[in-house]
Every structure is written in C-alpha cells, then in structure tokens.
C-alpha cells in the first residue's frame, strides 16, 4: 500500500494505550499500572484500518477472463481456485499489472464534523461523544478528538480516561505517533478517541499539526472525524472548526446561547478552509437540554424560535434528561442508553446526519390521559 508507507500512523508502532503502555511523563498517573516492554504489541486496529478505499487502490491480482472462471465448481477451496487460475492464465495471458501502474492518489475521504457553540457548558462534549458512538454503531470508522486543551473532558465521557497515555498535543509535537495516541474504544472496534492535553498551554495546537492529524486519519480509512470544540472563539475553537466539512452547532433554548451561536455561524462562513475556498461548511443545529414543559410555560425558546433566529436545519432536539449526567459519570455516552429519551434523540440525530429522514420526538408535552390524572403516574 503505497500511501500507508508514507504516513506515520502506518509504520509499525507500539500500542501503549490499548495495553497500558509507557506514559508520557507529564501525564503519568501513579495509580495506573505501568507497562512492561512485554505488553507492547503491534496495533492491529490501525492496520485493520486500511479501509475499503485504501484497499481498493492496492495492486490487485490481474482479472481473469470470465470464460476461464466459469469452469470452477462450487465448493472448490481457494487453493484449488488459485491453481486453476494459474492454469487459466497460461491459456489466455492476462496483462501484468505493476505496482507503479496503479499508484493511487492519496485522498482524504474522512468527513470532518466540528461540534461547536459559542457558549461553554451547553452540551458539546456530551454531543461529540454520542455522535461518535452513534456513527460507529452504524458501522462507520470514527475518530473523536478533544480540542479542549487544558480541560480534557471527552475521555471521561467516553470512559477511557484511565487509558490516556499520549494526547493530541504529544502527536502534534512529534512526541509519539498518531497510532500511539489513538485510544481504541472498548465497545466499538471502529471507534477511536484522541484525548486533549491537560498540561499544555492553549497555543500548543498548530494549524499544520491539526491538518496533518486529520489528513493521516483520512488516509488511514476513517469515515468521520468528530472534533469536540472548546467554548468561545479562541485558538482551540478556531482550529476545531477550520478544517470542518460540517458543523453541528449545539444550542440550548435560551437567548444567550442562541446569540453566541450566531457569532460562531459567522466564523464558520468566514474563518474556515472551506470559506477561504469559497465553499460552505454544512451547518446543522442541535438543540439540547430542551424541556417542552418549560417551553410551554414560556421560560424557554421553542424549536421554531431558535430555528428562525439562526436559520439552520435541525439535526436533533435532545431533551433535558437526568440520564445524561449519569451516563457521563459512568463513561457510557447517553446514546448507548436506548431506554432514555436523550439516547433515542441522539440516535435520531446520527441517522439524520447520515441522510435519513426521521421525525422529531420528545418535543411536546405529553398530555396525561384521564386515568393517569386520576391515579397519578
């Protein structure tokens, strides 16, 4: 695979995060088991990662003319088949394909989704974790990256904080390879987390460094890269959105959150690579912590209000739900709790991101029936 040989994540490397490997000195946690050399093993995850796309580009066995293949009986094993192919090839010579003849163009096919908002504490990390899990559950190969240098929350919500050895900043500074820093999710083989650094200054991320990480992930067959943005409009937030193809703008149904998101929309249409090329970042509105009762009472903005102010398509409305905090505390993103309304609403949002049409749920006050009113419930 020509492309892989040129990327750092394709080199044979150790896998400390999946086997409790050598910790970065600044991140060492005394309570955690430190690795021995014997625990260091090659990453099967990333080598598995050569996607259908990359595999497609590999030099393939010359195609055998159909007339020859037709002679094989059903049930013949691969060895028999291989032998027969040789015989067939002798009869009708097939063109020799050399590796140089099929050298592929390196293509970054990963779709970069930034989860952003103007204000902090609105539910970006909760959303990033659930979207990433949901996309992985749909069979997509997903990396979710924490851009919140200094805070590092995503790994907690994803439930992999004890396995963070290297982080995003280490990768960018060349202190480890990307594959060493990627933490493979325990629930989905096709989901990886790249944690933020707790120790570095906010300027530790560079545009070139971020671009290289995103490109390498794309070359390695990732379908989606979810970028969990920090709040505000500082460098981290700017870098999280700069390379985005799509943006999920997380908003709470209150005026200050909507107003701050409006500023983010301005940045998405001017300060991103797509904007610089005269293209658009596809924007989606995700309304969260939505409480139909409070909307009915007039304490909260309605979906329609927010939609009208921001002028965006709604990709999801997540109800205010106590399960969200419980899920975060146990490191199980709420989308995995399909008994909860929030989990189901996130599942709908993922389906919509993938192009499915689903009606909104949990957005109106459930009217209690006569018997419920009478007997409680």
Ligand X SMILES: Nc1ncnc2c1ncn2[C@@H]1O[C@H](COP(=O)(O)OP(=O)(O)O)[C@@H](O)[C@H]1O
x/- contact string, 262-291, with ligand X (CB under 6 A)? --------------------------xx--
Task: Classify residue 335 by burial, with Cβ atoms within 10 Å: 0-12, 13-18, 19+.
Answer: buried
Please tell me the distance from the alpha carbon of residue 124 to that of residue 282, in angstroms, as a whole number. Answer: 17
Out of 124, 184, 200, 284, which residue is the one contacting ligand X (CB under 6 A)? Answer: 124
Q: Considering the complex, state which of residue 131 and residue 178 has its C-beta at the smaller distance from ligand X.
A: 131
Q: Which stretch binds ligand X (CB under 6 A): 26-34, 106-114, 116-124, 274-282?
A: 116-124
Interacting residues with ligand X between 287 and 316 (CB under 6 A): 288-289
Which does residue 318 bind out of ligand X, Mg ion, none, counting CB within 5 to 8 angstroms by kind? ligand X
Check residue 320 for interaction with ligand X (CB under 6 A): yes
When CB distances are held under 5 to 8 angstroms depending on the partner's kind, the choice from ligand X, Mg ion, none that residue 122 binds is ligand X
Least distance to ligand X, CB of residue 186, Å: 21
Q: Which of 50, 54, 116, 125 binds ligand X (CB under 6 A)?
A: 125
289 binding partner (options Mg ion, ligand X, none; Cβ < 5 to 8 Å by kind):
ligand X
CB 304 within 8 A of CB 312: no
> Rounded to whole angstroms, how far apart are CA atoms 316 and 159?
24
126 touches ligand X (CB under 6 A): yes
- CB 2 within 8 Å of CB 103: yes
8 Å CB contact between 257 and 285? no
Q: Does 130 bind ligand X (CB under 6 A)?
A: no
Tell me: does residue 125 bind Mg ion (CB under 5 A).
yes
**Of 195-234, which residues contact Mg ion (CB under 5 A)?**
none
Instruction: Quote the Cα angle for 149-154-158, to 5°.
Output: 155
63 bridge partner residues: none
Please give the structure tokens belonging to residue 198: 């707790």
From the list ligand X, Mg ion, none, partner contacted by residue 244 (C-beta under 5 to 8 A by kind): none
Least Å from the CB of residue 320 to ligand X: 4
Shortest spacing between CB 335 and ligand X, in angstroms: 11
Picking from 32, 92, 38, the residue whose alpha carbon sits closest to that of residue 68 is: 92
Q: Provide the terminal-to-terminal Cα distance of the chain, rounded to the nearest Å.
A: 61
Sign of CA dihedral 163, 161, 230, 112: positive
Interface residues for Mg ion in 95-124 (CB under 5 A)? Answer: 124
Question: Residues 273, 263, 362, CA angle at the centre, nearest 5°?
Answer: 100
| Angle CA 211–217–219, to nearest 5 | 100
Residues that bind ligand X (CB under 6 A): 117, 120-126, 153, 231, 288-289, 318, 320-321, 324-325, 328, 342
Q: Which residues bind Mg ion (CB under 5 A)?
A: 124-125, 153
């Amino acid at each position: 695979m020509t492309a892989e040989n040129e990327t750092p994540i394709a080199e044979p490397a150790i896998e400390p995060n999946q086997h409790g490997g050598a910790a970065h000195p600044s991140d060492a946690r005394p309570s955690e088991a430190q690795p021995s050399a014997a625990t260091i093993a090659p990453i099967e995850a990333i080598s598995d990662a050569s996607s259908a796309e990359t595999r497609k580009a590999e030099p393939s066995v010359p195609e055998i003319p159909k007339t020859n293949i037709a002679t094989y009986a059903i049930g013949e094993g691969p060895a028999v088949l291989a032998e027969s192919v040789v015989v067939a090839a002798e009869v009708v010579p097939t063109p020799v394909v050399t590796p140089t003849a099929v050298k592929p163009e390196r293509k970054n096919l990963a779709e970069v989704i930034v989860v952003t908002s103007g204000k902090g504490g609105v539910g970006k990390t909760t959303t990033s974790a659930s979207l990433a899990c949901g996309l992985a559950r749909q069979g997509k190969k997903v990396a979710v990256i924490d851009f919140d240098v200094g805070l590092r929350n995503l790994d907690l919500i994803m439930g992999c904080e004890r396995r963070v050895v290297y982080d995003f900043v280490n990768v960018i500074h060349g202190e480890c390879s990307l594959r060493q820093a990627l933490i493979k999710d325990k629930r989905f083989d096709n989901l990886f987390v790249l944690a933020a650094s707790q120790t570095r200054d906010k300027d530790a991320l560079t545009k070139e460094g971020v671009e290289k990480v995103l490109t390498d992930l794309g070359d390695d067959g990732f379908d989606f890269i979810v970028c969990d943005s920090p709040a505000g409009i500082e460098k981290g937030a700017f870098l999280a959105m700069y390379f985005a193809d799509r943006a999920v703008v997380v908003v709470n149904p209150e005026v200050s959150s909507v107003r701050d998101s409006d500023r983010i929309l301005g940045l998405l249409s001017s300060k991103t690579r797509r904007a610089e090329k005269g293209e658009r970042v596809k924007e989606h509105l995700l309304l969260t912590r939505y409480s139909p009762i409070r909307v009915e009472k007039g304490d909260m903005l309605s979906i329609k209000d927010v939609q009208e102010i921001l002028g965006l398509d709604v990709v999801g409305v997540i109800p205010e739900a106590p399960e969200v905090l419980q899920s975060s505390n146990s490191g199980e993103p709420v989308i995995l709790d399909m008994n909860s309304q929030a989990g189901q609403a996130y599942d709908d949002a993922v389906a919509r991101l993938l192009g499915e049409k689903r009606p909104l749920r949990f957005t109106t006050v459930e009217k209690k029936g006569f018997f419920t009113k009478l007997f409680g419930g």
